A and B are shown apart, each in its own frame.
Chain A
Amino acid sequence: MGVPIPTTPRLRSGPMRVLVLGYGNPGRRDDGLGPRLAEELSRMGLPGVDVDAAYQLQAEDAAAVADHDVVVFVDADVSCPDPFEMRPVLPAGEPRFSTHSLAPETVLSMAWKYLEAKPEAYVLAIRGEDFDGFGEGLSDRARRNLSAALGFIEKFLEERASSCEKAST
């Protein structure tokens, strides 16, 4: 689950700005994993880390993305390996506009094409299992996976901040 940290130098001056954006519908059981991680992470109050939650990714998220150096999209996943998977993500050449909601690649593409920003970006996919019907609360499996993902993202963000500090000294 180790994630290679890109070595591309940052162009923006000043402290590194990180955005963690969890998305999904908390009223659809494990689909709420993204917002739930955002909620937990927000409570930690990590310095330099902005945390936001949404039902789904939308056009205006491109503006938020463009305002940060590192972006982590957090979503529930129906098929990734337990407990989670983190992978780098790039602006997509071909957008996936299948619904009102956007894919992370499309949001990044919009930030790049419209707002001339290309932050380093990742998708943190957390494995869930219960996506049927309406209901609040996570399945036992999703709760376990959320806990593991939370520990991972906290460490990842600390390491990312540390590597940025070293690069700037």
Chain B
Amino acid sequence: MSTTTTRKVVIEPVTRVEGHGKVTILLDEAGQVERARLHIVEFRGFERFIQGRPFWEMPVAVQRLCGICPVSHHLAAAKAMDRIVGGENLTPTAEKMRRLMHYGQMFQSHSLHFFHLASPDLLFGFGADAAVRNVIAVAGNFPELGKQGIMMRKYGQEIIRMTAGKKIHGTGAIPGGINKNLSIAERDELLVDLDQMKIWARAAVKIARDYTVDNLEMALGFGSFESNHMSIVRADGAMDLYDGGLRAITADGDTIFDHVDNQAYSDYIAEEVKPWSYMKFPFIKSIGPEDGWYRVGPLARVNACDFIDTPEAEAARQEFMAVTGGRPNNVTLAYHWTRMIETLHSIEKIEELLHDPDLQGEDLVVKGERRNETVGIIEAPRGTLFHHYIVDDNDQVVMANLIVSTTSNNEPMNRAVEGVAKKYLSGREITEGLLNHVEVAIRAYDPCLSCATHALGQMPLVVDLVDASGALLNSRKRG
């Protein structure tokens, strides 16, 4: 392998991440990393796909976006369409059914990521041989852990099936409400395994906490950086994954904006286009594109909220914040810990809801004054999700703009990639284990590039080492 020319390492696409992404690492003549970028190579087309469709189809149609978190799009679109029909003040049954669906989605999505996507990296080490750094190998060494992941995922999926009507193309949330309540039989079926799910969620928080604390020194230097954080929060400052006003804070915890009405999001957030990426770069307008980028997702939510309104998750949050003395935590790998705190919060909320008789209510839909423009915002598993629509008088969608959480994390992921590449790859022979370090940094954000690029794809990993003349020096490929 030549070390006397500028070289370019391409990782395409990133493994264990949905969709089609590519990492390019440019080495200078001395073998030092000059620049590293996460590219998105798909086109955007989903907004055009839904233009011209009747607005009431949106909660179902948008689920085509992504097989990973269709429920988030289903609910964000439903929240937006609530305002079109003037039904944003939902009945208690409708709002609680949607919340149950959402917490079920959060529970299963976070569990899948932690137990099956992240755990091989955390349990076997970032640089371990790929043949032993995978979920099947977890079965050999930590069989109960992998089994818990399967059963937690299944439990969340059952909640989705019961609240959305079915696993694929759920129809539960409709403009102004919900089309079914939860039967007593369904409630009782979910209650059977509830205690077990809580036990496993508690244990998962401990695993993630112990990993972060035990490896804090490494984590502090692993793709970590100071950043702004953004999420929605409840009126009293509590974490609220379903509804609330927008809050953004600085790396020090100072407020940038707070309790911003969802409908006014575009007064506070803008998107920048860069020539080398199809994915946009959102930023906070008052700060500008250079320094106004921000993180979203579990880390940002735990940092931004004042408290969590369930006891065990709140205790876990306090322990998490104590690590940084109450200041926002800016450690990229701490996403895993916060993701598990939210998993525990979700199962606590699920328990609360299952014991609420409103779920068996019969008043499902409200309607009021018709509107033509609307914004629906929800905290998806990966972060804040914006759905913005304009509907004409013929009920057709004429404009749609979606900002998905992975797009908001675009700049942070790029910074993490570059930081890790410079620290671990510079001046060294590039091995599969070293390249995995870059992927670990990306996976911490649990990105869904399918969603971000509005395309589905599944391809093997290709790593090309190219010199300044474009000649291929080395190539790696794995399934």
Chain A residues within 8 Å of B, Cβ to Cβ: 25-28, 31, 35, 52-56, 58-60, 62-63, 94-101, 106, 109-110, 113-115, 133-135
Contact = CB atoms under 8 A, between A and B. Distances in A.
A28 B167 CA distance: 18
Interface in B157-171: 157, 167-169
B23 to A, nearest CB: 14
Across chains A and B, which 6 residue pairs bring their CB atoms closest together, nearest first?
Answer: A27-B64, A55-B67, A113-B139, A134-B49, A60-B154, A96-B479
B48 to A, nearest CB: 8
Contacts of A59: 112, 115-116, 149-150, 153
A60 B168 CA distance: 14
B375 interface: no
Interface residues of B, number: 50
Interface stretch (B80-88, B130-138, B245-253, B412-420): B130-138
Kindly name the residue among A35, A59, A96, A133 whose own CB sees the greatest number of chain B CB atoms within 10 A: A59
A86 B221 CA distance: 50
B218 to A, nearest CB: 24
Contacts of A101: 18, 67, 458
Q: What is the interface of chain A mostly: helix, strand, loop, or mixed?
A: loop
B151 A63 contact: yes
B139 A133 contact: no
A98 B154 contact: no
B153 A100 contact: no
B136 A106 contact: yes
Given A58-B112, A134-B45, A99 B153 contact: no
Nearest to A35: B168
B147 A115 contact: yes
A62 B18 CA distance: 19
A62 to B, nearest CB: 5
A31 B456 contact: yes
Contact of A55 (B19, B70, B108): B70
Contact of A26 (B13, B64, B146, B151): B64
16 contacts: A52-B167, A56-B67, A60-B108, A95-B135, A95-B136, A98-B458, A98-B461, A98-B479, A100-B16, A100-B112, A100-B450, A106-B136, A109-B136, A113-B139, A114-B143, A134-B49
